Structure 1
Amino acid sequence: MEKATKNKRMSELLLILWAGGAALLSYSLVYALRKPYTAASFEGLTLFGTDYKVAVTTIQILGYVIAKFFGIKLISELKRENRFRFFVTSAIMAEVALIGFGVLSAPYNAAAMFFNGLSLGCMWGVIFSFIEGRKVTDMLASLLGVSMVFSSGIAKSFGLFAMNELNIDQFWMPAVIGGVALPLLVLMGYLLKRLPSPTQEDIELRNERVVLDSEGRRRLFLSFAPILTLLFIGNFMLLVLRDIKEDFLVLILDMSNQSSWLFAQVDTIVTLAILALFSAFVFFRSNIKTLMCLMGIVILSCITMAYVSFNYKALDLQPVVWLFIESLCLYIAYLTFQTIFFDRFIACFRIKGNVGFFIAIIDFIGYMGTVTLLSTKEFLNFDMEWFDMFNHMAFFVGAVCTVLFTIVATLIYKRYSLNNRNKTKNSKMDLFINPQYNTI
C-alpha cells in the first residue's frame, strides 16, 4: 500500500514537471513571437497621423480580438486530436507575419502585425485545453499563468538587448527573436500532445471536460448569467489595464538610466510570488472553498492596487517599488481568472464544458476594450502623461473591481448553497419514494 502511494505521488510529480514545464515554456515562447516589438519606441514615426507604436499595438490587438471572437467557437469545439495541428499552424503563421514586419517598409509594415495577432489569439486556450480537468491542474495552470508575467518582462528585455547590444534593427528584431523561439515552441507543443488523458480520479474530482456546441454555450451562459456577466465586466477592465502596462511600460517609466533587464528582474520576483500563492491551492480538495479563497485574494489585490495608485504621491514610492506592487496586484487578479478559477468553477458546479469557452469570452471582451481605449486616446488626442494615465486607470479599475468581485463571491456562495439544499431535498424525496432504501 505504501509503495503504491509513493508510486502515485511520483507519477503526479512527473506529470507536473512534464505538463507544467511544457505549458510554461510554451506560452513564454508565444510571447517571444508576440511581444518583443514593445521594447522599441519607434520614435518620430506616424501612421495616418497616429503615433506609430500606438497604431502597431492597436492593429495587433485588433487581430487578436478577431481571433478571440472566433476562438469562442473554435476552442470550445476543438477536439483533442486536432490541438497540435492548430498549435503548430498558428505559431508558423505568427513568425511569417513578423518577417513581413521586417521586409515591408515602415510605416505600412504595421499591417503585418494584424496577422501576427490573428495567428496567436487562440494559443492560450489551446495550451490550457491540454492541462485542464486534472487533479493537479491548479499547479499546471499556475505554471502556465505565471509564464505570462515572466515572459512579458523577458520579451521586452530581449528586445532591448537585441537592439542595444546586438545592433539589430527595431523592425527586424521581432522576427529574429521569433525565429529562435519557433522550433522550441513546436517542440513544447509536441510534449503537450503526448500528455496522458485525465484519469478516473481526475474526472471525479474536476469533472469530465467536453466540447461545447452553440446550444451548449448558450445554455451554459444563461444558467450562470449574473455571475458570468459581472466576471466578464471585471475581467474586461483588468485585461485593458494589463495590456496598457505591457505594451507601453517603456513609456510609462523612464528607462534611460535603467538596465535593459529591469523588467525581467521585477517580473521574475512577481512570478515567483504568484507561483507560490497559486500552487498552494493544489492542496485544496473543496472546490467551493477554493473559489471563495480565490475571490478573497482577488478583492484584496484590487483594494491594494487602488490604494497605491490613489496615494502614489503621498506614499513617495520608488518607481521600481511602485512597478512591483502594481504588477503583483494586477497579475494576481488577472491570472486568477485566466488559470485556476474557471477550472474550479466547472468542477464545483459539475458543468459539462471546458475552460477554453470562458477564457475566450473574457479575452475577447477585454481586448475589445483595449482597442477602444487606444483608438479613443489617439483620435481625441488626449494630452496626458502615460504614467498619470496608468495610475488613474489603476485606481478606477481597482475600486470598481473590488465591488464587482465582492458581489460575484456572494452570488457564487448563494448558488452553491442553493444547489446543496436542493440535493438534500431530492435525496430525502428519493428515500420517501423508494422505501427499499429506508432502514428500520
Structure 2
Amino acid sequence: MKQITANRRMSDVLLVLWAGGAALLSYSLVYALRKPYTAASFEGLTFLGSDYKVAVTTIQILGYVIAKFFRIKIISELKKENRFRFFVGSAVLAEAALVGFGLLDAPYNVAAMFVNGLSLGCMWGVIFSFIEGRKVTDILASLLGVSMVFSSGVAKSFGLFAMNELHVDQFWMPALIGGFALPLLVFMGYMLKRLPQPTAEDIALRNERVTLDGKGRRALFRKYAPILSLIFVGNFMLLMLRDIKEDFLVNILDVSNQSSWMFARIDTIVTMIILGIFTLFIFFRSNINALLWMMTLVVAGCLTMTYVSYHYETLDLKPVVWLFVESLSLYIAYLTFQTVFFDRFIACFRIKGNVGFFIAMIDFIGYMGTVALLSAKELFNIDIEWFALFNHIACAVGAVCTVLFIAVAVLIYKKYNRTFRTKELENDTCLNANYNTN
C-alpha cells in the first residue's frame, strides 16, 4: 500500500513538472508574440488623428475581442484531437502578422496588429483545455496563470533590450522576438498534446469535462446567472485595469532612468508570491471551502488596491514599490478567475461542461471595456495623465469589485446549500419510501 501511495505521489509530481512547465512556458511564449510592441513609445506618430500607440493597442485588442467572442463557441466545442492543429496555426499566423507589421509602412501597418490579436485570442482557452479537470489542476492552472504576470514584464524587457542594446527598429522588434519564440511555442504545444488523459480519480474529484453546444451554454448560464453576472461585471473592470497597466506602463511610470529589466524583476517577485498562494489550494479537497477562500483572497486584493490607490500621495511610495503593490493586488484578483476558480466551480456543482466556456465569456466582456475606454479617449480627445488616471481607476475598481465579490461569495454559499440540501432530502425520501415498502 505504501509503495502504491508513493508511486501515485511521484506520478503527480512528474505530471506537475511536465504539464505545469509546458503550460507556463506556452503562455509566456504567446506573450512574446503579442506584447513586445508595448515597450515602444512610437513618439510623434498618429493614425487617423489618433495617437499611434493607442491606435495600435486598440486595434490589436479589437482583433483579440473578436476572437474572444468566437472563442465562446470554438473552445466550448473544440475536440481534443483538434487542439494541437489549432494551437500551431494560431501561433504561425501571429508571427506572420508581426512580420507584416515590420514590412508595411506606418501608420497603415496597424492592420497587421489586428490580425495578430485575432490569431491569439483563443490560445489561453486551448492551453487550459489540456490541463483542466485533474486533481492537480490548482497547481497547473496557477503556473499557467502566473505566466501572464511574469511574461508581461519579460516581453517588455526584451523589447527594450532589443531596441536599446541591439538597436533594432521599433517596428521590427516584435517580429524578431516572436521569431525566436515561435519554434519553442510549437514544441510546448506538442508537449501538452502528449499529456496523459485525466484518470478515474481525477474525474471523481473534479468532474468529467465535456464539450458544450449552444443549447448547453445557454442552459448553464441561466442556471448560474446571478453568480456569473456579478463575476462578469467585476472581471470587466479588472481586465480593463490590467490592460491599461500592461500596455501603457511606460507612459504611467518614467522608465528612462530604470534598467530594461525592471519590469521583469518586479513581475518575477509578484509571480512567485501568487504561485505560492494558489498552490496552497491543492490542499483543499472540499471544493466549496476552496471557492469561499478564493473569494476571501480576491476581496483582500481589491481592498488593498483601493487603499494604496486612494492614499498614494500620503503613502509617498517609491515608484517601484507602488508598482509592486498594485501589481500584486490586481493580479491576485484577476488571476483567481482566470485560473483556479472555474475549475473548482465546475467540480463543486458537478457541472457538465468545461472551463473554456466560462473564461471565454469573462475575457470577451472584459476586453470590451478596454476597447471602450481607449476609443473614448481618442474620440473625445482627452489629454490623459496616465499615472493619475491609473490610480483613480484602480481605486474605483477595487471598491466596486469588493462589493461585487462579497455578493458572489454569499450567492455561492447559498446555492451550494440549496443544491446539496435538496439532494440530501431527496435521498432521505427515497430511503424512507423503500423502508416503508419493505
Which TM-score tier does this pair reach, normalised by the shorter chain?
Answer: over 0.9
Classify the secondary structure of the residue corresponding to 2:134: coil
The CA distance in 2 between the partners of 1:282 and 1:369, in whole Å, is 33
Indicate the residue corresponding to 1:140 in structure 2. 140
The CA distance in 1 between the partners of 2:335 and 2:106, in whole Å, is 35
Cα distance per residue 1:169-207 (max 9 Å; x no partner): 000000000000000000000000000000000000000
How far apart are 1:436 and its partner, in Å? Answer: 8.2
* Residue 345 of structure 1 pairs with residue 351 of structure 2: no
Give RMSD over aligned pairs: 0.8
Structure 2 unmatched ranges of 5 or more: none
Structure 1 unmatched ranges of 5 or more: none
Indicate the residue corresponding to 1:383 in structure 2. 383
Classify the secondary structure of the residue corresponding to 1:232: helix
Indicate the residue corresponding to 2:124 in structure 1. 124
1:165-184 equivalences in 2 (<5 Å):
165-184=165-184
The CA distance in 1 between the partners of 2:378 and 2:313, in whole Å, is 27
Indicate the residue corresponding to 1:17 in structure 2. 17
* Residue 367 of structure 1 pairs with residue 339 of structure 2: no
How far apart are 1:382 and its partner, in Å? Answer: 1.6
How far apart are 1:437 and its partner, in Å? Answer: 9.7
Counterpart code for 2:373? L
Indicate the residue corresponding to 2:73 in structure 1. 73
The CA distance in 2 between the partners of 1:213 and 1:435, in whole Å, is 41
* Residue 7 of structure 1 pairs with residue 7 of structure 2: yes
Deviates more, 1:428-437 or 1:280-289: 428-437
Identity of aligned residues (%): 75
Counterpart code for 1:134? R
The CA distance in 1 between the partners of 2:375 and 2:66, in whole Å, is 16
Counterpart code for 2:153? G
1:289-368 equivalences in 2 (<5 Å):
289-368=289-368
How far apart are 1:400 and its partner, in Å? Answer: 0.2
The CA distance in 1 between the partners of 2:65 and 2:122, in whole Å, is 10
The CA distance in 1 between the partners of 2:4 and 2:364, in whole Å, is 45
How far apart are 1:433 and its partner, in Å? Answer: 1.7
How far apart are 1:383 and its partner, in Å? Answer: 2.3
How far apart are 1:378 and its partner, in Å? Answer: 1.3
Kept in 2, the 8 Å contact 1:29–1:185? The answer is yes
Counterpart code for 2:172? W
Indicate the residue corresponding to 2:261 in structure 1. 261
Aligned residues: 438
The CA distance in 1 between the partners of 2:432 and 2:118, in whole Å, is 58
The CA distance in 2 between the partners of 1:91 and 1:126, in whole Å, is 12
Kept in 2, the 8 Å contact 1:39–1:156? The answer is yes
Normalized against structure 2, the TM-score is what?
Answer: 0.99
The CA distance in 2 between the partners of 1:94 and 1:434, in whole Å, is 62
Kept in 2, the 8 Å contact 1:150–1:268? The answer is yes
* Residue 87 of structure 1 pairs with residue 81 of structure 2: no
Classify the secondary structure of the residue corresponding to 1:83: helix
Cα distance per residue 1:362-389 (max 9 Å; x no partner): 0000111100000001111122300000
* Residue 206 of structure 1 pairs with residue 216 of structure 2: no
Cα distance per residue 1:242-270 (max 9 Å; x no partner): 00000000000000110000000000000
Cα distance per residue 1:82-130 (max 9 Å; x no partner): 0000000000000000000000000100110000000000000000000
Kept in 2, the 8 Å contact 1:305–1:326? The answer is yes
Kept in 2, the 8 Å contact 1:239–1:367? The answer is yes
Cα distance per residue 1:319-357 (max 9 Å; x no partner): 100000000000000000000000000000000000000
* Residue 235 of structure 1 pairs with residue 235 of structure 2: yes
Counterpart code for 1:122? C
Kept in 2, the 8 Å contact 1:431–1:437? The answer is no
The CA distance in 2 between the partners of 1:178 and 1:85, in whole Å, is 19
The CA distance in 2 between the partners of 1:130 and 1:433, in whole Å, is 44
Classify the secondary structure of the residue corresponding to 1:133: coil
Counterpart code for 1:316? D
Classify the secondary structure of the residue corresponding to 1:108: coil
Indicate the residue corresponding to 1:287 in structure 2. 287
Kept in 2, the 8 Å contact 1:232–1:362? The answer is yes
Indicate the residue corresponding to 1:407 in structure 2. 407
Counterpart code for 1:312? Y
Deviates more, 1:57-66 or 1:413-422: 413-422
Indicate the residue corresponding to 1:224 in structure 2. 224
Indicate the residue corresponding to 1:113 in structure 2. 113
Indicate the residue corresponding to 1:271 in structure 2. 271
